[in-house]
C-alpha cells in the first residue's frame, strides 16, 4: 500500500511539529503547518493568533459542526465552526497538490476517505514534554505541567467534537511513537522508512 499523505498528530511538547518537518525534508515533500493558518487567515479575515488558538482547541461540544462542514455555508455558525469549514477546505486543497506532511488540525480524519494517509501520533512522558516546552517556549505564569494538561485536554475535546473519534488512542493511527524514549531523530527514521517502503 503506497501512502500519499503523512499526517502527524501529537501531544503538546512531544516535538511532533519538528519531527513532521524533518520527515518532509528527508522525503523532499512539502510540510504544511503554519501555512494552513496563513491560508485560513487570508480567507477569514481573522488574525493568525486567533486561528492558531481556535483552529485546534475547543471548549464546546455538539454534533452541529460535522453536519455544517459538509454544507459549505457559514450562516448561523459560530466562529469556530466557520474556521472548521475553512480548515477542512484548505487541507483538502493542499493534499490535492500531491504528497505532503500535514501537522495536526484533524488532517487524518479530514483526508482519510479520499487519500491514502499514513497516520502518525507522537507522544512522550510528562517530564520530557515539560523539558521540551521550557526549552522552546520558556517560563510562563502557569506551571509546565498545567500548560501541557490544558493544551492536550483542549486538543482532545476539539478532535472528539469534530471527528467523533478518540484523539491519541493508538488503534486510531498506523504508528504511535514515544519521542521521549526514542528521540526525535529515531522517530523521523521510522516514519520515513515506513513511507518509503510503502512506495516500493
Question: What is the pLDDT at residue 80?
Answer: 83
pLDDT tens across 169-180, in order?
A: 999 999 999 999
Q: Which is nearest to 15 in space by CA: 119, 149, 136, 190?
A: 136
Confidence of residue 36 (pLDDT cuts 50, 70, 90): very high
Give the three cell numbers for residue 26: 528527508
Q: Let me know: does 119 contact 175? Beta carbons within 8 Å.
A: yes
Mean pLDDT along residues 149-158: 92
Length of the chain: 200
Mean pLDDT along residues 169-196: 96
pLDDT tens across 44-85, in order?
A: 888 888 887 766 665 544 433 444 444 444 434 578 888 999
- Which is it for strands 5-10 and 100-103: parallel, antiparallel or unpaired? parallel
Q: Which is nearest to 17 in space by CA: 188, 198, 192, 190?
A: 188
| Of residues 73 and 142, more confidently modeled | 142
Ordered by where they begin, the domains of the chain are 5-199 (3.40.50.300)
pTM: 0.86
Question: What is the pLDDT at residue 142?
Answer: 83
Q: What span, in angstroms and rounded, lies between the C-alpha atoms of 27 and 24?
A: 5
Amino acid at each position: 500500500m503506497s501512502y500519499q499523505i503523512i499526517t502527524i498528530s501529537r501531544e503538546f511538547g512531544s516535538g511532533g511539529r519538528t519531527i513532521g518537518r524533518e520527515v518532509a525534508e528527508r522525503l523532499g515533500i512539502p510540510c504544511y503547518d503554519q501555512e494552513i493558518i496563513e491560508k485560513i487567515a487570508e480567507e477569514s479575515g481573522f488574525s493568525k493568533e486567533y486561528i492558531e488558538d481556535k483552529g485546534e482547541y475547543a471548549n464546546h461540544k455538539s454534533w452541529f459542526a460535522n453536519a455544517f462542514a459538509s454544507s459549505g455555508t457559514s450562516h448561523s455558525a459560530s466562529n469556530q465552526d466557520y474556521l472548521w469549514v475553512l480548515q477542512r477546505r484548505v487541507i483538502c486543497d493542499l493534499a490535492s497538490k500531491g504528497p505532503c506532511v500535514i501537522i495536526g488540525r484533524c488532517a487524518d480524519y479530514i483526508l482519510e476517505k479520499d487519500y491514502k494517509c499514513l497516520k502518525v501520533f507522537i507522544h512522550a512522558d510528562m517530564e520530557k514534554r515539560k523539558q521540551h516546552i521550557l526549552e522552546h517556549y520558556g517560563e510562563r505564569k502557569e506551571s509546565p505541567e498545567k500548560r501541557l494538561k490544558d493544551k492536550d485536554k483542549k486538543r482532545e475535546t476539539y478532535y472528539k467534537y469534530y471527528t467523533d473519534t478518540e484523539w491519541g488512542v493508538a488503534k486510531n493511527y498506523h504508528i504511535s511513537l514515544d519521542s521521549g524514549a526514542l528521540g526525535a531523530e529515531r522517530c523521523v527514521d521510522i516514519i520515513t522508512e515506513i513511507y518509503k517502503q510503502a512506495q516500493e
